[in-house]
Structure 1
Amino acid sequence: MAHRHRRETAVSRAAGAILVAGPFAVVAALAAVLLAVSSPLTAPARDAASPARSVAPAPPSSPRADALSRSASRLALRGRRSLEQLHAAYHRRVTREATREATREATREAIRGAHAHLWTTAALNLWTGPGGGARDVGVVDRGERVLVTGRRTGDRAEVVVDGEARWVTAAYLSRERPAPTPALTPTPTPTPTAAPTPAPTPTPTPTPTPTAAGQPATGLSTAPCPDSAVESGLTPSAVLVHRAVCHAFPQIHAYLGYDPHGEHASGKAIDIMTSDVALGTSIAHFLQAHAAELDLYDIIWRQHIWTPVRASEGWRLMPDRGSPTANHDDHVHVCTN
């Protein structure tokens, strides 16, 4: 048994030696080729005992010898270039690995030194790095207290989640804990009552007529807004929504109207820009209460949607789309029929 163990050890060592010596053997072989092809082609050595005067002059070189010499020179040049390319590739590989290790060590050091905490003011995507090639690996909810390292790149800040370094949008981190989000509740649906007995001659209901101040009978203003530029490209019903909101909520100064994407491309949709949760919720409830007069198709606010055709279901949760704007956290979206 002892002899077999020594033989196996010898074989293992021999195999290891082959693996280690392999790259050196390649380089040595290339060097030998270079040496061989770099030497000039010479005639056989002259007999030392023969007098110098008895040696005939060397015949002129033949075309075949010249061709062989040129081939040898080209082979030597190719060999040198191959060695240079191998060396350059090895240097690049070593440099890349050293850079990666330095980055990993800097990240580990940042995690070890992290001690400050901030609050998330919106649901934030977690990225593996600050650059454009980073991967999205999860979401941290609004109102979470996260550990920050203090490192920032561009508009992203590094945080520590479950012991791993992640990057989030820095603008949505705050020292103050955000206020709870008000619950979106649907407007109660009136209980249907028995229809009155129809009169022999029904009188058609007149269309609400605006007063001199621009207030129709429903209480919604149709007067032009101070800034009517957003109404360009909108349908008449969307214009009425804009005017109703701008007079009911004069503190809103930013709107988005026509845009060649989504519902906005039809001219029927408006975005009412606000990140104030209480104000945005008030606007959403205002639109919900006047959905019939304004002929609304849908209202979207803070990742919830409400539609008149499914009013009995209330505000329905929508899938997470990955950013505050895509989740309608910074604007109320409304679309007409």
Structure 2
Amino acid sequence: MPSAGHRKSRRASRRVGLTKTAALPAVGVTAIAAAAIATLTAVAEHPVPAPEAMSMRSDVIGESLATRDAPPVSRSAARAPLPDAAAAQEATAGEMFVVEEAEVRSSASGEAPVLAALDKGTKVAVGATEENGFRQVIHHGLARWVRVDLLSETEPAPEPEPEPEPEEAAEAMGLATGECPTGSSVESGLQPDTIAVHRAVCAAFPEVSTYGGVAGRGEHATGHALDIMISGEAGWRIAEYLQANASQLGIDYLIYEQKIWSVGRSGEGWRPMSSRGGGTADHYDHVHVTTRGAAGTG
């Protein structure tokens, strides 16, 4: 029979064993619970699809794969195709002219956007359609619209060139119009045409340094006459220059070396004059010019 000490020792060993045996299930339960929670979480986050869902998924994927190589759908497929040049040409009913600057509009309305402008005299192909006061035209191969009253079968006459201003006309003829570099005091009291003569001669013949303006009586007193102090062949060059530009300068007549030339009798050329008694009186030392006042510059 075991002694009392031996029995005590065995009871102690059984308690230790029971303690260890009881601890192991506690650890196992905890681990199993944790694993179960993780599994439930995974299932909640990624549920297993039902057979119907799997079928639908397969259909979507199948459709995607089936249409992967199909051509893209055009967003403008519903739009009406634009007419090409050949179709537009077939729609033409002839040609007309623009009688004044015309706006090309997108539709037959004065409120329609303006797409272009056509200059006067432009020839355009037109259609047979008129609507709301507009005529269909073919512009860059497309059907557009222009006001009916701006189109005509007759080509409009070109715009006349504007008449140049007197100074512009003089400059076009090579006539200077600026103030004389040697001074313009002689122009005081002169008529516009007489001033034009002074400036033209001053620029073309800078060797002339003296002029006679307003003085005495008659044409000189009214500013219609100018004396260009020169003699010899140089005087004839100036006289011929003034003859050639008589219309632009408003010249009525010229006197030099006892001869006279007038616009009214230009076909007779230079006509002789009777002597007045001296070189200056007979115009041997100057070219006398009488103007009409403002005929050339007015």
Task: Flag whether TM exceeds 0.5 (same fold).
Answer: no
- Scaled by the length of structure 2, the TM-score of the pair is 0.43
For the pair shown, the structure with the greater C-alpha radius of gyration is 2
